[in-house]
Structure 1
């Protein structure tokens, strides 16, 4: 089974920037995709394809690179219409990307849909790829991160509102990684179109916005209908890293095939300036960013504690004043 690594770069200068993006350059995601492609080349994986609604602009950003180092380009046929102030606006167009790939992907090839703000550290395990090919889908279950952060009742409610049914075992899937055969895409896309419409119509009721909401709902529906799916996170195919986050020991990520860095976009854009991806250099910079994040988290916790202490002291002083 072959792989077709692909990422979405949707360019719209009038849309709200991504929630985790600090660079206001609408083509900053091209730089991230360059880094991702360099890392794919380093581990011997196929060239990344950038699917974009602005191929001329993206090609111009790539023209200074040696042709053999450039990501490939495909034009996205965008059909989705939604307000440009929608959170995670650009990510919604992954549905159009999957729709397009369902009709063009060879039978012996799986789509490997990746977010641009990722790096490849190791090749994907061949046995895992074969398992995903047999099941039809491989996805990254991040329920253990999302459920505690927002409350399992709220997350499950959102999934079932968007799915428009009760789900047997609701799970939340990260949008940064998806493995899918053409046949599975042809089942997933119509289901995701339906959950997308429901997600839009119920946008005032649901707390979570973005592609993960309606794609996760669609994946849950397919699973309930008997479709196979391999959870790839358990195999360390991908890990999501936030600088300073204590969710996992930072060393765990070094054994992942892919690392997603939603809070490390600037680091990836700097790495893209190099002709080749150097894992050791990247890892040193990631560790430094992680340590700086740990310090920021500690300072924030101390500030919150001091604020609570000051409030308690004021309350105690006011109570004593009233008694006197």
Structure 2
């Protein structure tokens, strides 16, 4: 088990956004603590989506994400990793202003075969548990994938709604159901959840907003789902954190938790080259907080070299 008191007292000031005005929030508004997992692995299957042989390629993505966040006035990114000393040394080559904060993850309680697809992504639950324990009242943990770009800040009213309900998640059921078949996706969700779900939904891992109270409820539920997931891992269509986190979110929803859909609210969107289910016109609304073409955003273009931009995944905010 990790020492939550140690994390809260000794490490929290290094990454917490102390001035809410940088978020475009009024005094007393909701603060966000952005974080992303960078699990460095050299002896596992890793991610099928990553063609790079460089174990620090996700650190490069985190640098780009951090630059884009600062460009739009969001707090700096915290990178949670299993090799903090190595990541810190790697970041020494980067300008100080562009460096994400680095947090060493405590040893994981999750066990699974190292040849599992998306092996490192499974430990996002550890990051959520450990950083969730550090949140203060009025703060939301913003869990992000590294292969994203921030294009504008988050609407304060939406943050308030997420704070009230405890959670905002990215519902991508329409994409998952159309790509893999609703029957198969729902069957996988209910298998991992351990029973019938009232309204099965699949949530993408690109972004999650969660209060400390919601994280405390989500973590044990997700751990139980993970154990079921691990037993049937070879029978599932999807391997990775989305399977058991989605199952846990569904279970909490069935218990009465309202989940704000961050996709419907245009906080986040994704368009994969291999999945054209969503028409690109969806991204063009002037109220939209996302853009499918990061090069069209002056703020991001100004601070993020084209060669350093993510090659897959979503762009958001």
**Residues 36 and 125 of structure 1: is their aligned pair in 2 closer, same or farther, counting only changes over 3 Å?**
same
Report the alpha carbon displacement of residue 52 of structure 1 after superposing the two structures with TM: 0.5
Query: Who is 2:129 aligned against?
Result: 99
Matching of residue 118 in structure 1 with residue 148 in structure 2: yes
Query: Who is 1:13 aligned against?
Result: 42
Deviations 1:196-233 (A, max 9, x none): 00100122332221111100000000000011210110
Give matches, 1:50-199, under 5 Å. 50-79=79-108, 80-199=110-229
Query: Who is 1:204 aligned against?
Result: 234
TM-score, length-scaled by structure 2 = 0.81
Question: Is 130-139 or 64-73 further displaced after alignment?
Answer: 64-73
Considering only CA atoms, is the larger Rg found in Structure 1 or Structure 2? 1
Report the alpha carbon displacement of residue 131 of structure 1 after superposing the two structures with TM: 0.7
Matching of residue 38 in structure 1 with residue 38 in structure 2: no
Gapped runs of 5+ residues in structure 1?
A: 268-275, 291-324
Report the alpha carbon displacement of residue 252 of structure 1 after superposing the two structures with TM: 4.0
- Aligned-partner Cα distance in 1 for 2:214–2:40: 28
**Residues 56 and 230 of structure 1: is their aligned pair in 2 closer, same or farther, counting only changes over 3 Å?**
same
**Residues 205 and 242 of structure 1: is their aligned pair in 2 closer, same or farther, counting only changes over 3 Å?**
closer
Tell me, yes or no, if the aligned pair for 1:117 and 1:260 is still in contact at 8 Å: no
Report the alpha carbon displacement of residue 82 of structure 1 after superposing the two structures with TM: 1.3
Give matches, 1:166-315, under 5 Å. 166-243=196-273, 245-250=275-280, 252-253=282-283, 256-257=288-289, 277-278=300-301
Q: Secondary structure in 1 aligned to 2:236?
A: coil
Report the alpha carbon displacement of residue 282 of structure 1 after superposing the two structures with TM: 7.4
Gapped runs of 5+ residues in structure 2?
A: 1-29, 313-317
Tell me, yes or no, if the aligned pair for 2:71 and 2:303 is still in contact at 8 Å: no
Tell me, yes or no, if the aligned pair for 1:40 and 1:47 is still in contact at 8 Å: yes
Q: Secondary structure in 1 aligned to 2:133?
A: helix
**Residues 48 and 168 of structure 1: is their aligned pair in 2 closer, same or farther, counting only changes over 3 Å?**
same
Report the alpha carbon displacement of residue 67 of structure 1 after superposing the two structures with TM: 1.9
TM-score, length-scaled by structure 1 = 0.79
RMSD value, Cα: 2.6
- Aligned-partner Cα distance in 2 for 1:10–1:26: 9
Q: 1:4 aligns with which of 25, 33, 37?
A: 33
- Aligned-partner Cα distance in 2 for 1:75–1:243: 34
Tell me, yes or no, if the aligned pair for 1:119 and 1:258 is still in contact at 8 Å: no
Bigger fraction of residues in helix:
1
Query: Who is 2:78 aligned against?
Result: 49
Deviations 1:72-115 (A, max 9, x none): 11111131221111011111000111111232111221100000
- Aligned-partner Cα distance in 1 for 2:213–2:82: 25
Question: Is 63-72 or 137-146 further displaced after alignment?
Answer: 63-72
Report the alpha carbon displacement of residue 15 of structure 1 after superposing the two structures with TM: 1.3
Report the alpha carbon displacement of residue 285 of structure 1 after superposing the two structures with TM: 11
Tell me, yes or no, if the aligned pair for 1:115 and 1:177 is still in contact at 8 Å: yes
Deviations 1:143-170 (A, max 9, x none): 0000011111110000000000100000
- Aligned-partner Cα distance in 1 for 2:193–2:275: 31
